[in-house]
Amino acid sequence: FINIGYEKDAFLHYLDLGPQVQSLNKLTRQIMSGKRFHADLSDFQPEADIGKNGKITEVLSPNQPVLVQIAKEPISTKGPRVTSEISFAGRYLVLVPFSNRVSVSQKIISQEERNRLKRLVTSIRPNNFGIIIRTVAEGKMVADLDADLKTLMAKWEMMMKKLSEAKPPMKLISEIDRTSALLRDLLNESFNNIYINGPELYEETRNFIQTIAPDKLNIVKLYKGKIPIFEYFGVDKQIKNSFGRTVTISSGIYLIIERTEAFHVIDVNSGHRAKKDSDQETNALEVNLEAATEVARQLRLRDLGGIIVVDFIDMVIPQNRKKLYEHLKEEMAKDRAKHTILPPSKFGLIQITRQRVRPETNVEVLELCPACMGTGQIKPSIILIDEIENKIRYLIQEQNEKRIKLCVHPYVYAYLTKGFPSIQLRWASKFKKWIPISGNKSFHMIEYRFFNNKGDEIRI
């Protein structure tokens, strides 16, 4: 366990030390003791790599300063998980100190392009630094890659400078802000506009886009509307729809997502969807394929991790089960988290394990009922009308209000104004004063308010 200055100690597993941990420890000692004054590793003599089956006590000793990076955020009662395999992620490259390997993202399919990128990066790679070439580097020129590498090297140098003055436990360097990190990892040709509602973040984002994709600078726009940005673009509604226990897809298909202590369960339901011309097996396949696409999306959206069991609609034909399995794998290929998918069982169950890096996203989509305040009971309508009448009497006879206006829910409005004689008419006769009534559909069923002739609310 490592004291990193957080409320809970971080956990460092032997396998997370990395093969080059002895080289990292050597450099840490040299920098902190003042025996080494620069971050350049071209003259650094690396230590031998450690084996895969050793003990952590053979590598680290109590109270020893060690350089670590957060690999997994704190989840539930567990503290962060850390690694000594330090790396710096950029737009096109990932810099890995103490390694001399150049590797290319497996998502770059063309062997010719892989060779080209590897050749370019090898020509600019500093000694004793490994480099991983990211998917977005495909088609990029050496100038783009070199600029990204220089940015990463500057981060490394800044970290070494801070290390020379460090008093553990201490944070040396942070990841870039969340907005920039998302844009760095996700920005591609499909982005048409990026709307930002804060001037400060707008400027920061423009500056960041200028460095990573200058041709996309014009898509960054400052939102100045009076309506909240999430409401204007319908994001609030999508969040409420997407994060509930029940997720509706289309044609009546829906998912039910349940969380247990051990795993997540997703149940696929066809609802009322059934094509007249289709047999049960064909209909089940169509429903399952649609549901599989949404399941993959929900896993990414909610960042669900651990074991996920999906209960698809039963299918008898093995080829259909295989089709579903292949389709789900295809959809899950878009997921950047590590995952494993097992073939469907004969009961239609598919098991997925997905890397859990941070706590799952949980948005509360149920709200406390404003009418009953969660009790499930409200006042009888007859008592509500008596209550309103008593307050009208108080306002007219005790407070001597010259003119009052009543605002209620549209259903209550109809109840008060319809018929002959209406309740509104009876009040006019009783209090010798006409009381205008209006309906407001934003009110809950038993909500009502009084206003004076200036339009100000009268609070009783």
pLDDT in tens, 220-243: 999 988 888 888 887 876 776 666
Q: Determine, yes or no, domain membership for 360.
A: no
State residue 377's pLDDT score. Answer: 65
pLDDT, residue 74, reads: 80
Q: Do both 346 and 447 map to the same domain?
A: no
Q: What residue numbers bound the domain in which 214 lies? A: 179-224
Residues 250 and 340 in one domain: yes
Looking at the predicted structure, is the pLDDT value of residue 163 above 70?
yes
| In-domain check, residue 278 | yes
Residues 215 and 323 in one domain: no
Task: Report if residue 375 sits inside a domain.
Answer: no
Instruction: Return the structure tokens found at 151.
Output: 């940015």
* Over residues 384-403, mean pLDDT: 86
Inside any domain, residue 188: yes
Asked if residue 129 belongs to a domain, the reply is yes
Does 128 share its domain with 259?
no
Same domain, 99 and 126: yes
- Asked whether residue 7 is assigned to any structural domain, the reply reads no
Residue 194 has pLDDT above 90, yes or no: yes
Nearest C-alpha neighbor of 147 from the set 225, 71, 91 = 91
Residues 269 and 310 placed together within one structural domain of the fold: yes
Residue-level pLDDT at 54: 82
pLDDT of residue 452: 87
Residues 170, 191 within the same domain: no
Instruction: Identify whether residues 201 and 320 lie together within a single domain.
Output: no
pLDDT at res. 94:
92
- Residues 409, 432: one domain? yes
Asked if residue 127 and residue 59 are part of one domain, the reply reads yes
**Residue reference for tokens 């460092």:** 12
Q: How much is the pTM?
A: 0.56
**Choice between 301 and 115, residue whose per-residue pLDDT is larger:** 115
CA distance 349 to 107: 29
Within 13 Å of residue 409, how many CA atoms lie on the same side as its CB?
A: 12
- What tokens appear for 179 in the block? 């907005």
Q: Is the pLDDT of residue 177 over 60?
A: yes
- The secondary structure of residue 194, as a DSSP letter, is E
- pLDDT value at 359 more than 60: no
Residue 51 shares a structural domain with residue 142:
yes
Residues 262 and 279 in one domain: yes
Which of 250, 257, 299 is closest to 271 using CA atoms?
A: 250
Total tally of structural domains belonging to the chain: 4
